[in-house]
Structure 1
C-alpha cells in the first residue's frame, strides 16, 4: 500500500535543478499552457518559439532547447514520440524528428506550482449555507433504499465534496485570522472598521453550526444503529465507482471498500468525535468564539490607547471650579468620590506593634501608627553598619547547632535501618513526628527516580521494593495516624 513512499519523484527535479532551472520552468509552463488548449504533442521548434515569445531573458538557441527537452524526458517530465510527418528537405530526412508531451505527473506538478504562485494568504471562508445542504444530504440517507447505485454515488460525491470544501475553507479562514499579518493588523487603528463585520460573520457561522451540527450528529447516530443499512449504501457506492472504466488507477474491490469505509469513519468522527478526542464541530465553535474574544480585546486596546493621549484639562478645570463653589467639606468628599472614585490600594505586610490588649475590638482609627523604615531600591545603596548584633549572631549559632543535632539524629536513624536491612511500613511501631517526616522524605526521593532508589551522601542506598500491587496500611504516629501505601524500604551500603 505504501510502496510508492520508498521511491523518489524525479519529475520534481526541474523545479530545483542547478544551472538551467529558468529554461526548464519556461519550457514546462509553455507545455502546460498548450495542454490546457488541447494541444498535446509539440515539436522542438514550437517549444523554442513559444519559450522565446514568453520573454526568456537570456541567449537561447534551438539546439539548446532540444538538449533541454531530452533532459526533461530523462527525468520523466516529458514523453517522446517519433514525428512521422512528411519531410520536404534532405536535411529534415536525415535528422531525427520527435514530438514531446507532458506526463500526468508533470501536469499535476505544474498545476500545483501555478496554485502556489497564486497564494497570497490562507484565504478560506465560512460557508454557512453549505451546512444546511450537508444536513439535508445526511438526513436524506434514510430515504436512499429505493435508489440506484448511480444515485448513491452522486449523493456520496456531493456530500463529501461539501464536507471537504467546508472543512478546508473553515480551517483556512480561522488560520488567516491568526496569521502573522493579521496579528500586525490587530494593533493598528485600520483594524477597527473591519472588527464589526468579522465578528458578525463569525457569529452567524457559529449560530448556523450550533443549529445544524446536532441534527447531523443525531442522523449519524441513528445510522450507526443500523450497520446493515450503512454497509448496503457503501456497497452501492463502490459498485458505481468500479463500473467506471479506469485505465491507470485500478483498485480491487477490497481496496475500494477500505477507502470508502475510512472516509465514512472520518466523516462520523468529525461530527461525533471518539473516545480519544471530541467532535471537530465543538472544537471549531470553541476556536471561533476564542477568535471573537481576541478581536474584541484587540479593539479595546486600540481604543484605550487612543484615549490615553486625550487631554483632560477642560474636564479637570470644570471639576476644580465645582470644588471651589462648595462650602461644606462633606459635599466636597462626595464630589471627589463621584469624580475620581477610590484610588488604587496598596497593601503592606508587617508585624503590628501596639500595646492595646483588645486590638480586635478596637477601631483602626484609634490605634497607634507603626513606623516602618524603607530602604532605597538603588543597586548602589549599602546599609550602614551599626556595630555588632549579638542577637543575630546568637540566633545564627543556635540555627547551626539545631542543624547539627538534626543531622546527627538522622544519621543515627539511618544506621538503625541499615542494621535491619529491610523495613516495612506496616511492621513499624509508633513513630515520632520527626521520624515520620524523614520516612516520607526518603520515600519521596525514591519515587522521584525511575529506578526507585537513591544514594545518601554517606554512601547508603535506599530503595523501594518493586511490586505490581502495593496494599494500603496505617502508620501509627505520636501525633496521629497516616493512611499510606505499605512500602517496603531496603537499606544497604553502596557496593553490597
Structure 2
C-alpha cells in the first residue's frame, strides 16, 4: 500500500523550477553555505550585499529581496525568526527585524544538488576489496557479539554496517556502469588501451579474489545465526533509537520494521531469496564478463596491430632460408609449408562415425558424393510410380493396438476395488500401468474439479489432501516412485469397443 506521504506534493523543491529560479537559487545557495559554516542565522542585509556583488543583480532592489524571502518562507525553504536581542523601543519591535534560517529539507536538497554537480555526465565508483573487509567486521560484530555489546555500541555497529554496505553497492554499481559506458568502450578500441589493459585486468582480478574470500565468510556469519537472535538485535537497536531521538512521531514498531527491512535487504544481497539469486552472484558475473570483454578488446587490438606490422624482415629471413636449400624440390616443400599448396583441391567428407584416435584411415568408411552438372537447365529425371495400398498392413497394426489396449485396460480393472484405486495398497505394477496412473494424476491436478474423463470413457477423480505430509511408494518394473498419499476414484465403467 502506498504511504500517504508519498502522494503529497513537495513544496520545498518549487524554487528549482520557477520563472525567477535564478534569484531563488542564489539566495538559497548563500544561506546553505552559511549553514555549512555553522552560521545558522542570516540577516537580509548580508544576503543583499552578497547578491549585489554579482552583475546579474545590479538592478536588484531590497523590495524584491523581501518578496523573494517571503516566497521562500511560503515554500518552507526558509524559516524566519524575529530579532529581539537589541530592541530598545517599541518602534524597533514593530519593524520586525528578521533573521532567516534554512529548513532541513532545503539543506538536504542543496546537498543533493552539490553531489549531482560533482557526478557530471559519467559514472564513477570503484571496486575496493577493503570494503568487504569492513562489511565482514561489522556483520560479525553485529550478529556474533551483538548481545554482548552495549546499546550505544550496537547502534554504532549497525550504522557502520549500513554505511559500508551502501558505499560498497553504490561504488560497485557506478564503476561497472562506467566500464560499460559508450565512452569507455570507445577508448578500449584505441591502441593506447593496450598499455592499461594489464593494470585494468589486474585491478578487477584482485577485486574478484577479495570478493570470493570475504563473501564466503559473510555468508557463513549469516547462516550460523537464527531468526530469533536477529530479531532480538534489531529490537535492541530500535529501542535505543526510540529512547534517544526527541520529537519523533515514530513508535518502536516503526523503527523495528524499518531496520528489519534494511537488515533483510543486506542479507538477501549476499544469500539471495527463494525465487532469485543473490546480487553478490550478479556482481561476480558482471565483473567476470567485464574482464572477458576487456580481454577480447585487447586481443582484437593486438591482431589489428599485427596485421599492419611491416613483414619486411620476415620476408628477408625466408629469402635467405630458400637460398640455403640445395634443390628445387626442397624449396617446393618449404613453400608448401609456409604458403600452402600451389594447386589446392577441397574435398567434402561426412563426419567420422567414431571419435577414437586409434582407428586407421583405411578403416574409415568412404564418403560417396553424387556429382551433378552445374547448368541452370539441368533437371533431375523423375519416374512415375504406381501408388501402393497398405490397407492390410494398417488393419494388422490397428488390430495389434486394440489387443494391447484391451490387455492394458484389464490390468487397470484389476486395480479397481470399490470404485477406487488406492495407490498405497497397489502391488508391483508394470511400467505402462504406472505411466497411465501418473498421467491421470497429472491431468486431474490441472483441473479445478480434480476430475477428468479418459479416452476409454472412465470418469476419474483425484482424492488428495493438500496439507498432508504422508508419502507412499509406488512400485513398478522400472523402479520406485515416491509421491503423496493419493486415491483415484473411478465413477464410470470404461467402454469395451476400441474400433
Q: Same fold (TM over 0.5)?
A: yes
**Corresponding position of 1:12:** 13
Shift of 1:112: 0.6
Shift of 1:306: 2.0
Distance 1:345 1:296, change over 3 A: farther
* Aligned-partner SS, 2:244: coil
Q: For 2:5 and 2:345, how far apart are their aligned partners in 1?
A: 69
* Aligned-partner SS, 2:99: strand
> Contact 1:272/1:279 (CA < 8 Å) preserved in 2?
yes
Q: For 1:265 and 1:311, how far apart are their aligned partners in 2?
A: 61
Aligned length: 386
Gaps of 5+ in 2: 350-362, 388-400, 404-445, 457-499
Question: What is the TM-score when the length of structure 2 is the normalising length?
Answer: 0.66
Q: How does 1:206-217 map to 2 (within 5 A)?
A: 206-217=208-219
> Contact 2:52/2:58 (CA < 8 Å) preserved in 1?
no
Shift of 1:34: 0.9
* Aligned-partner SS, 1:223: coil
**Corresponding position of 1:259:** 258
**Corresponding position of 1:456:** none
**Corresponding position of 2:21:** 21
Which shifted more, 4-13 or 59-68? 59-68
**Corresponding position of 1:72:** 72
Q: For 1:471 and 1:178, how far apart are their aligned partners in 2?
A: 57
Answering whether residue 280 of structure 2 is matched by residue 278 of structure 1, we say no
Q: Residues 378-420 of structure 1: CA distance to partner in whole angstroms, max 9, x if unpaired?
A: xxxxx8xx8xx9999x99xx9xxx9xxxxxxxxxxxxxxxxxx
* Aligned-partner SS, 1:46: helix
Shift of 1:243: 1.7
**Corresponding position of 2:140:** 139
Q: How does 1:76-225 map to 2 (within 5 A)?
A: 76-84=76-84, 86=86, 97-120=97-120, 121-140=122-141, 141-224=143-226
Q: For 1:24 and 1:114, how far apart are their aligned partners in 2?
A: 16
Shift of 1:312: 2.0
Q: CA RMSD in A?
A: 4.2
> Contact 1:134/1:163 (CA < 8 Å) preserved in 2?
yes
Distance 1:182 1:81, change over 3 A: same
Q: For 2:373 and 2:309, how far apart are their aligned partners in 1?
A: 39
Q: For 1:26 and 1:184, how far apart are their aligned partners in 2?
A: 39
Shift of 1:167: 1.6
> Contact 2:51/2:57 (CA < 8 Å) preserved in 1?
no
Distance 1:98 1:128, change over 3 A: same
Which shifted more, 48-57 or 149-158? 48-57
Q: For 1:180 and 1:294, how far apart are their aligned partners in 2?
A: 13
Q: For 1:368 and 1:252, how far apart are their aligned partners in 2?
A: 85
Distance 1:335 1:390, change over 3 A: closer
Which shifted more, 184-193 or 212-221? 184-193
Distance 1:391 1:13, change over 3 A: same
Q: Residues 265-302 of structure 1: CA distance to partner in whole angstroms, max 9, x if unpaired?
A: 11211111121111222221111111111111111122
Q: For 1:233 and 1:252, how far apart are their aligned partners in 2?
A: 17
Q: For 2:380 and 2:366, how far apart are their aligned partners in 1?
A: 35
Shift of 1:142: 2.3
Shift of 1:363: 7.9
Q: How does 1:390-409 map to 2 (within 5 A)?
A: none
> Contact 2:84/2:93 (CA < 8 Å) preserved in 1?
no
Question: What is the TM-score when the length of structure 1 is the normalising length?
Answer: 0.67
Q: Residues 306-328 of structure 1: CA distance to partner in whole angstroms, max 9, x if unpaired?
A: 22222324423543453455455
**Corresponding position of 1:305:** 304
> Contact 1:126/1:169 (CA < 8 Å) preserved in 2?
yes
Shift of 1:53: 3.0
Distance 1:229 1:309, change over 3 A: same
Answering whether residue 294 of structure 2 is matched by residue 292 of structure 1, we say no
> Contact 2:268/2:278 (CA < 8 Å) preserved in 1?
yes
Distance 1:319 1:30, change over 3 A: same
Shift of 1:9: 0.8
* Aligned-partner SS, 1:108: helix
> Contact 1:132/1:212 (CA < 8 Å) preserved in 2?
yes
Q: How does 1:423-438 map to 2 (within 5 A)?
A: none
Q: For 2:123 and 2:152, how far apart are their aligned partners in 1?
A: 36
Answering whether residue 80 of structure 2 is matched by residue 43 of structure 1, we say no
Shift of 1:72: 1.6
Distance 1:58 1:186, change over 3 A: farther
Q: For 1:308 and 1:390, how far apart are their aligned partners in 2?
A: 47
Q: For 2:160 and 2:455, how far apart are their aligned partners in 1?
A: 64
Q: For 2:137 and 2:345, how far apart are their aligned partners in 1?
A: 59
> Contact 2:127/2:207 (CA < 8 Å) preserved in 1?
yes
Shift of 1:132: 2.2
> Contact 1:26/1:56 (CA < 8 Å) preserved in 2?
no
* Aligned-partner SS, 1:189: coil
Q: For 1:105 and 1:54, how far apart are their aligned partners in 2?
A: 27
Which shifted more, 25-34 or 163-172? 163-172
Q: For 1:102 and 1:134, how far apart are their aligned partners in 2?
A: 35
Answering whether residue 233 of structure 2 is matched by residue 242 of structure 1, we say no
Gaps of 5+ in 1: 350-359, 375-382, 403-427, 431-466, 475-496
**Corresponding position of 1:355:** none
* Aligned-partner SS, 2:192: helix
